[in-house]
Chains A and B, each alone.
Chain A
Amino acid sequence: MSALLDVEGLVVHHGQLCAVDDVSFHVAEGEVLAVVGANGAGKSTLLRTIAGLHRPSAGVVRFAGEDISRLGAHQRVRRGISLVPEGRRLFRSLTLEENLLVGAHKAPKGTFDIPAVYEIFPWMRERRRASVAQFSGGEQQAVAIGRALVANPKVLMLDEVSLGLAPIVIERIYEVIPAIVAQGVTVLLVEQDVSQGLKVANRVHCLLEGRTSLEGRPDELSARQIEEAYFGAELHHSQPGGPS
């Protein structure tokens, strides 16, 4: 199994706070890896660092064997890493189509272009000239995913796509992921909502206070194990007076 994305000993600080503490993992081509963890576990920081929006204090990010730790965010997109950021972050003064055009402006030719995104989300075609500022949360999330897809990524990173959305909308968003994976796109997703993460993932990586607390295939892990890794129950039981 060749690792497409390889993260080694990553440490990221926000000022004095250590958000990601010595995290290592790899994602193989075609795989779906879900990083789960509670609020503040460092998941978003991890994705943002891989995308190049944060500078790590230590550690290496390799993509297809190349050390990309020193590349800027825009250069990483051109290598094939796209991020759907937390909070969607659309260009609010642009139309739907303009948002996609910006997403595609440096994209290599590939499976996903704007018509392909319209295939996945058919409602977009007739609203392509509408300003995204008026869209509902779910619609905005779809545009954010479309904007990342048109860059034709090899790895698509999804940061909390379920955040602030109704369950039915979340389900619809998650429905499209298998189709994306089927096109050979590797997916790295971050979720607070563990059940969603488990449904689509081949492998789960659990973060607790910036550190890896559990790793494995969803079918190999018990609910209790995940719960403990998520909330840190085990740490508190077995290590009283431990790290605080």
Chain B
Amino acid sequence: MTWTNVIVQGVLFGGFYALFACGLSLLFGVMRIINLAHGDIAVVAGYTAVFLVPHLHIAAVWGFIVVVPIFALVGYVLQRTLLQAALDRSPFTTLLVTFGLSVLIENLLLEIYTANGQSVNIGSLIGNSWQVNSVIYVSWFQLVVLLVAVAVLGVLQVYLSKTSTGRLIRAVSDDREAAQICGANYRHIFGIAAAIAVATVALAGISYGILTELTPTTGGSQVLLYAFEAVVIGGIGSLWGTLIGGILLGVAQQIGAHYNPAYQVLAGHVLFLAILALRPQGLFGKKEALT
């Protein structure tokens, strides 16, 4: 029974990790780059929810309705300016620039808000849970996040496969130049993809800030690493693989934590390294995606 609870809790965390990861996966699919500031943007979104939303006279739990669209815009603008400029140089430059951005964000947050943890306070809602039996509790909030993650991935999947903009995003990821000579402004398409990626990770950041504490370094050492591990475990280029990857990462972490709380993160890393050793393309990925 205890083990069932460990797995249930792991699955619930998996929702967060999938939500962290889907933007990272999308941007890599479209532009072949990794935004090393991905997690830090999530933390900035969380801080925005902490410090902006109380001024808006809306319930904190609805703060994301304001913050997420702002971050979609931030994502678009960031892509059209800094990231595109880096991409025009080389993928290598993109890594340097996004790493620089990550360090800038973390240290600015540290200077302005100190190293103290910040939480998005939604009051008593966070405490609500559903007691299945004597050992298994399901937090309503975490369950909602898991469902949101599934919904976000589902909507993204439909958006990419059924809409004309989604088709263009896929076309641009296949062949940027060919898309240009079909009349697509690939920079704009990149901007849209970045807007989606940043909006989803902002949502993830706010949710994480509701569940636990955000610190200036949460973005790098947690959000980015977990998102990355979820993507690689699930398989690069597979959206649903990312969900499974996130869930497996969550379960591995909970199993580790069950033995010793200090092993929580390490157990996730071990699973990631094991996948890398045994099946580097991930569970649902294609081998070609690696190169």
The B180-217 residues at the A interface (CB cut-off 8 A) are 180-186
Binds B, one of A9-17, A71-79, A115-123, A185-193: A71-79
Alpha-carbon distance A102/B164, docked complex (angstroms): 8
- Chain A residues near B184 (CB-CB < 8 A): 74, 102, 105-106
Judge if A98 is at the interface, Cβ distance under 8 Å.
yes
- Chain B residues near A72 (CB-CB < 8 A): 180, 185
B contact patch SS: helix
- Chain A residues near B170 (CB-CB < 8 A): 91, 93-94, 98
- Chain A residues near B179 (CB-CB < 8 A): 91, 102
Per a CB cutoff under 8 Å, which of A83, A92, A98 touches B181?
Answer: A83
Alpha-carbon distance A70/B180, docked complex (angstroms): 15
A94 to chain B, nearest CB (A): 6
Nearest to A101 among chain B residues (CB) is B167
B235 to chain A, nearest CB (A): 15
- Chain A residues near B183 (CB-CB < 8 A): 74, 77-78, 103, 105-107, 151
A94 engages B167 (CB within 8 Å): yes
B178 engages A105 (CB within 8 Å): no
What does the 1/0 interface line of A66-91 toward B look like (CB < 8 Å)? Answer: 00000011100110001101000111
Per a CB cutoff under 8 Å, which of A51, A74, A82, A93 touches B174?
Answer: A93
The B147-195 residues at the A interface (CB cut-off 8 A) are 164, 167-168, 170-171, 173-175, 177-186
Q: What is the size, in residues, of chain B's interface with A at 8 Å between Cβ atoms?
A: 18
Alpha-carbon distance A52/B174, docked complex (angstroms): 19
A53 engages B181 (CB within 8 Å): yes
Judge if A205 is at the interface, Cβ distance under 8 Å.
no
Per a CB cutoff under 8 Å, which of B164, B171, B173, B185 touches A74?
Answer: B185
- Chain B residues near A77 (CB-CB < 8 A): 180-183
Alpha-carbon distance A102/B180, docked complex (angstroms): 10
- Chain B residues near A107 (CB-CB < 8 A): 183
Judge if A147 is at the interface, Cβ distance under 8 Å.
yes
B174 engages A94 (CB within 8 Å): yes
Max chain A C-beta neighbours (<10 A), residue from B164, B168, B174: B174
Alpha-carbon distance A73/B175, docked complex (angstroms): 14
Max chain A C-beta neighbours (<10 A), residue from B168, B173, B175, B178: B178
Per a CB cutoff under 8 Å, which of A92, A93, A151 touches B182?
Answer: A151
- Chain B residues near A90 (CB-CB < 8 A): 175, 178
Alpha-carbon distance A69/B195, docked complex (angstroms): 31
- Chain B residues near A73 (CB-CB < 8 A): 177, 180-181
B178 engages A101 (CB within 8 Å): no
Binding site for B on A (CB under 8 A): 51-53, 72-74, 77-78, 82-83, 85, 89-94, 98-99, 101-103, 105-107, 147-148, 151
Binding site for A on B (CB under 8 A): 164, 167-168, 170-171, 173-175, 177-186
- What are 21 A-to-B residue pairs whose CB atoms are below 8 Å? A73-B180, A73-B181, A74-B184, A77-B181, A82-B181, A90-B178, A91-B170, A91-B171, A91-B179, A93-B174, A94-B170, A98-B167, A98-B170, A99-B171, A101-B164, A102-B167, A102-B171, A102-B179, A102-B182, A103-B182, A107-B183
